[in-house]
Amino acid sequence: MSTSPAPPTVLVVEDNMDTADSIARFLRVAAGFSVRVAYDGAAGVKAALAEKPTAVVCDISLPRLNGLQVANQLSGLNPRQLLIAVTAYDGAYTEELAYAAGFDHYIVKPADPFALESIVQDHVRRLQTPDLNGEPPSPRGSS
């Protein structure tokens, strides 16, 4: 009896419920991912710590903790967890802040759901391909 690998788990952290639920529905139905949703930054951190998702798709402008604070808290804890910023802020300064906070990707809204799926799938493939030391690579480079 062969077992197929579990689908990637994605946490969507977005305070706009329609946007969060639309992204989650697409990733669940079209991509086959296991998806959870949190509607504010503090709930997102709590869910990420408890569930250890493969990827976190996170808005930057959030109540309770903003997305930069979320990334700051999560990026050092699980170096193999992919952090994707999805934001309405289309500017180089905010993009620099996002990468400095620990995000691996920066996407301006409206986010292309197929691009999100592709980014997560590419990350999963990299995790399944060990480096020269036999370790899966981190999205943030060597740790």
Per the DSSP assignment, residues forming a β-bridge with 13 are 38, 58
Whether residue 93 lies inside any domain: the answer is yes
Task: Please name which of 105, 98, 59, 51 lies closest in space to residue 83, comparing C-alpha atoms.
Answer: 105
Whether residue 113 lies inside any domain: the answer is yes
Is residue 59 classed exposed, middle or buried when 0-12, 13-18 and 19+ CB atoms within 10 A define those classes?
A: buried
**In the prediction, which pLDDT does 5 show?**
75
Task: Please name which of 9, 73, 19 lies closest in space to residue 41, comparing C-alpha atoms.
Answer: 73
Per the DSSP assignment, residues forming a β-bridge with 34 are 9
User: DSSP state, 128?
Assistant: T
Whether residue 83 lies inside any domain: the answer is yes
Whether residue 139 lies inside any domain: the answer is no
pLDDT in tens, 112-129: 999 999 999 999 998 888
CATH number at residue 102: 3.40.50.2300
Q: Give the count of domains, the chain.
A: 1
Mean pLDDT across the stretch 68-93?
A: 95
Mean pLDDT across the stretch 57-76?
A: 97
What pTM value is reported for the model? 0.88
H or E segment and range at residue 108: strand 105-108
User: Quick check: 75 and 48 in contact, CB under 8 A?
Assistant: no
Domain residues for the domain of 106 are 9-127
Whether residue 54 lies inside any domain: the answer is yes
Whether residue 14 lies inside any domain: the answer is yes
